[in-house]
Structure formats: C-alpha cells, structure tokens
Structure 1
C-alpha cells in the first residue's frame, strides 16, 4: 500500500480482496480495528468498496501482512455456526448466519448452507483499491485517522 504522509494528512492506495457473487455482485473483505479503544477487531464481508480492507500489493507474500490470509476463516468463525441437529440424530447439517453474513445471505437467493459453501469456494482475488485521503483528528483523549476523501479506482482489473 502506498502512503503519502504529511503531519496531519495521508493518502493511501493499494488493493482490496474481492469475489463476485452471481446475485450480489462484488464482495470485499472488510476489517475494522478497534485496538485504539480496547475492543475486538471486526472481520466481515461487504458489498461496499469504501468499507473494504485496503492492503499493499503483494501482501500475500509479505510476512508482516500474511495474517490477513485467514480473513475468511475468521469471518466464518465469528458470524456462522455449523452443527448437526441432534433432534434428527445428527444427520442434518444446520447453518446459522449472523450480522453481515446473514444480511448478505438473505439477498443472495441462496440458503444458508449454499451461501456459506459459495463463500468458501469463491475465488478471492486482489483488485485495485480506492485512493483514500485521511486526516489525523484529535479526539482529546486520542488521535485517529478519519477518511475525508474516497476515490474508487478508474478500472478494476485482476491482479496476477
């Protein structure tokens, strides 16, 4: 990810991880760090590139960023439950989705089981990400970067 930085403003560019769902269109990995307020990090899937996790090109080979490779597993762990229904002797697989996965599944024209299978089988590829301009905002008790401008890429092409 390229970052141009001055004292209180930075510009970031890079790639986002995306897969195209037949009914929902492009989906993106989303990550929100709540480290600054002591909360848990949030891993999800979004239809909005503005909410997509922005990574540097080649992140899959960069040791410092490879931990994002487990993103989808973390999303499924946090927002899906899979189990065998004991009422029917454990024969039927039951999938329960929560949060954004449940919302996406409801719009996908797929059952919970089909949607989860699609997420796992989808080809998640790196595509050019937006250009994001952020300003450093002083909240009194902490400083944090906040987006002031978001420009989508001019053309989305598959990164090799």
Structure 2
C-alpha cells in the first residue's frame, strides 16, 4: 500500500495537484503535513475519491485539523505531525522520544523544508521536504510503502 506524503505547500497548489494526479491511481492515501491546510482541503476537493489525512502546521491558524494524529495503514501505526512542536529544526530527540512512547512504526513530519529519512529503534522517520520552498536545493515529496515487514520510504524530487 503506497502513501503520497507532502508538506509545506505554502499555496503552491498547482505543483501539489500535478503530483497527486501522477500518483492517484497507485496510492491508498495522501498525507499532508501542514503549512498550509487550505492547500490540502483544495486537493481533497479536487480528488474526492482519494483518502486524505491532514494535520496543521505552524502557519495554519485553524483548529479544524489536529496538530498530530496516529493513523493506521495496513497493520502499521504512523504518527503524522508537522514537526514544529518538537523543535525538529534543531534536534530530533523530542520527536524520537515522542514516537517511542506511542510505539509507532513510522513518523511523517515536515517543517524543515528539507527531505530526509532515518531510522531510530526500527522506527522510520520521514520528512518529504517541501513542494514549494526547498531549503536543501530541490523541491520534494515522498512515497511511503506499507508492507507486512514495515514502512519503506522513497524520496522524490519535483
């Protein structure tokens, strides 16, 4: 089961729409990690047959969406959050400890605008980067695949 993971679209919906359209027939879910949730709502309306999971970020001033949630895909638990509440721009200690306390299989987070994937205690930590404004030289997103063995990430460039 494949999941499209995007974050930090910041109003650049044409690029996000192009990417969702590219994968819509091959994914079971699109996860938007905040900044801006209005972009995610736009995409959700544009692709009504596709399931979306949405969390708000530090630039989202609505309480209509949670700041984090745990979703289940297949038999795997995934924590989705924007990341700003865990100071991910300076350390991963807080988010790693938080994830361990929930015993999740993966964590999807954004906020840094830098694409990254790493493992800690067998938990996948995945940051898809930003479709809109990259801080590491290239705009990006990710595909996560849930298998019976775990969650695997594929880092993609726009």
Q: Normalized against structure 2, the TM-score is what?
A: 0.22
TM (normalized to structure 1)?
0.22
Rg comparison, structure with higher value: 1
Structure with the bigger percentage of helix: 1
